[in-house]
Amino acid sequence: MRVLIVGSGGREHALCWAIAASALCDALYCAPGNAGIAREAECVPIKADDIPAIRAFARNNAIDLVVVGPEAPLCEGLVDALTADGIKAFGPTAAAARLEGSKGFTKDICAKYAIPTAAYARFDDLARAQAYLQKVGAPIVVKADGLAAGKGVIMAETRDQAEAALADMLQGGGFGQAGAEVVMEEWLHGEEASFFALVDGENALPLASAQDHKRVGDGDTGPNTGGMGAYSPAPIVTPAMTGRVMDEIIQPTLRAMADMGCPYRGVLYAGLMITESGPKLIEYNARFGDPECQVLMARLKSDILPGLMASAEGGLRHFDLRWHDDAALTVVMAAKGYPGKYDQGSEIRGIDAAEKIDGVTVFHAGTAMKDGKLVATGGRVLNVTARAATIGEAQAKAYQAVDKIDWPGGFCRRDIGYRALK
C-alpha cells in the first residue's frame, strides 16, 4: 500500500513510526512532516490545510490511503474531497467532524440523546453570558465554541476569571472566529481520562486507555495546553468503565451522527471526567489525541494499517487489535514560554543518546533541520516516550531520556503519570 499521512506533529510522527513498520506499507509519505518524521517517511512540502495540493499529490502518486492527523483539515473537508476523488481516507467528513469543530454542536447532541455531560449553556452575546454567570457563579468552565488548538478552554476558578474569559472571547476576539460563540459549562469533579475508539460509521472498537496532562505546570497548575504528557493504560478506565463509556457515550453518539445523515468514521476521542456517578463527556475530538497517540502506538502490538483501513471501509464488526501488557509514558518537551509567546530556532542535541535507553523513542512534534542542526520550530517540540513493565518504570525511563537531551531553550513537566502512581 502507498500511504500518505497529513500533519507535522508528534501524533503524526507516532503514526508514521507505526505504519512504517507495517508489512503492508510499500511507500510512506507525510505532508509536511518534520525532522523526525523524515526518518520514517518521505516528507513533501505541502501544508496540512492545503486541500487542493493534497488531493493532487494523492492522485499523482497513486496513494491508497490518506491518514489525516490534525483536526483543521478534517473540519475543512479534506476527507470529503479525497472521497470525491475515489481515494480512501481515514477520518470523518466535515459534517461528522463538527463533533470537534463546534463544542455547542456536541453539547446539543448530548442533551438530545441523554449522553452524560456537564450542565451547559451557549452564548454569542456578552451581556447574556454575563447574566448567566451572575446566576450560576464560579468555578465554571468557559469554552470557545470552535477550534482553538487546544487552548480555547478556560478553567475559571473565580467570577473575575470567568468575566475576563468571556470578554476576551466575545468582545476582544482573543480566539478569533472560534470564540464568536462560547459554551459555559459546569465544573465537574473527578479524574480525567482519554478514551479512543476506531469507528466505521456503525461499529466502534475501543482502543487502549490513556490519560493526558493538559495544564502546563506540575501538579496540574497554570493554563491549559495542547497536552504536556500522557500515559497508558489509565488505571481508572477499568473494563467495567470501558463498558459504560461504550454504552452510555460512544454508541449513542454514533446513533446520533447516523440519524443526522453524517455517519462517523475514523477515530473518535472522548475526553472524559470520571465522576462519582460515572463517566461524563467533557468534549470530543475527531482525531487521535496528541500526545496520547504516542503512548497508544508505543503499546500497540498489532499492525495499525489494517485497523485504519477497516475503519475507512466499514469493516470493524469482526476486527480486533492486540496490545502490549507494558505501560507507556510520554513527556512533552516544549519551548520556554509555551503556551504563551516562545522563541523558535534554538538548537537541540542529545536525542541519539536518549534513544539508546532501552524502550525509549523520541517523537518529534515541532522540529526542522537547519544548516545541519536540529532546531525547534514550535511550542510543543519533542515527545520523549518510554515503554516498560509498569507506569513507574516507564516514567523513570522517560525522564532519564529527557535528562540526556541538551536543549536549554526547552522545559517539561516533571510529574507526568503522577495520578497513576498515587
Average pLDDT of the chain, as a whole number: 95
Give the model's pLDDT for residue 391: 97
Q: State the pLDDT confidence band at 39, using cuts at 50, 70 and 90.
A: very high
Give the model's pLDDT for residue 178: 77
**What is the mean pLDDT of the segment spanning 77-90?**
98
Kindly state the greatest CA–CA separation across the chain.
60
Q: State the pLDDT confidence band at 36, using cuts at 50, 70 and 90.
A: very high
Distance CA 88, CA 67 (A): 9
Question: Worst-scoring range by mean pLDDT, 23-37, 80-94, 129-143, 392-406?
Answer: 129-143
pLDDT at 300 > cutoff 70:
yes
**Tens-place pLDDT, residues 239-289:** 999 999 999 999 999 999 999 999 999 999 999 999 999 999 999 999 999
**Tens-place pLDDT, residues 208-230:** 999 999 999 999 999 888 899 99
Give the model's pLDDT for residue 150: 65
Distance CA 239, CA 59 (A): 43
Domains belonging to the chain, first-starting first, are: 2-93 (3.40.50.20), 119-186 (3.30.1490.20), 191-313 (3.30.470.20), 327-421 (3.90.600.10)
Distance CA 422, CA 419 (A): 5
**What is the mean pLDDT of the segment spanning 189-209?**
95
Distances (CA, A) of 241 to 119, 193, 256, 279: 21, 11, 22, 8
Q: What percent of the chain has pLDDT over 90?
A: 91
**Tens-place pLDDT, residues 320-376:** 999 999 999 999 999 999 999 999 999 999 999 999 999 999 999 999 999 999 999
Give the model's pLDDT for residue 211: 94
pTM for the full predicted model: 0.93
Q: List CB contacts of 292: < 8 A, sequence separation 6 or more.
A: 194, 196, 210, 212, 227, 230, 232, 269
Give the model's pLDDT for residue 331: 98
**Tens-place pLDDT, residues 140-187:** 999 998 887 766 888 899 999 999 999 999 887 778 777 788 999 999
Q: Which amino acid is at 57?
A: F
Give the model's pLDDT for residue 307: 97
**Tens-place pLDDT, residues 378-394:** 999 999 999 999 999 99
Asked if 367 and 382 touch (Cβ cutoff 8 Å), the reply is yes
Q: What percent of the chain has pLDDT over 70?
A: 99
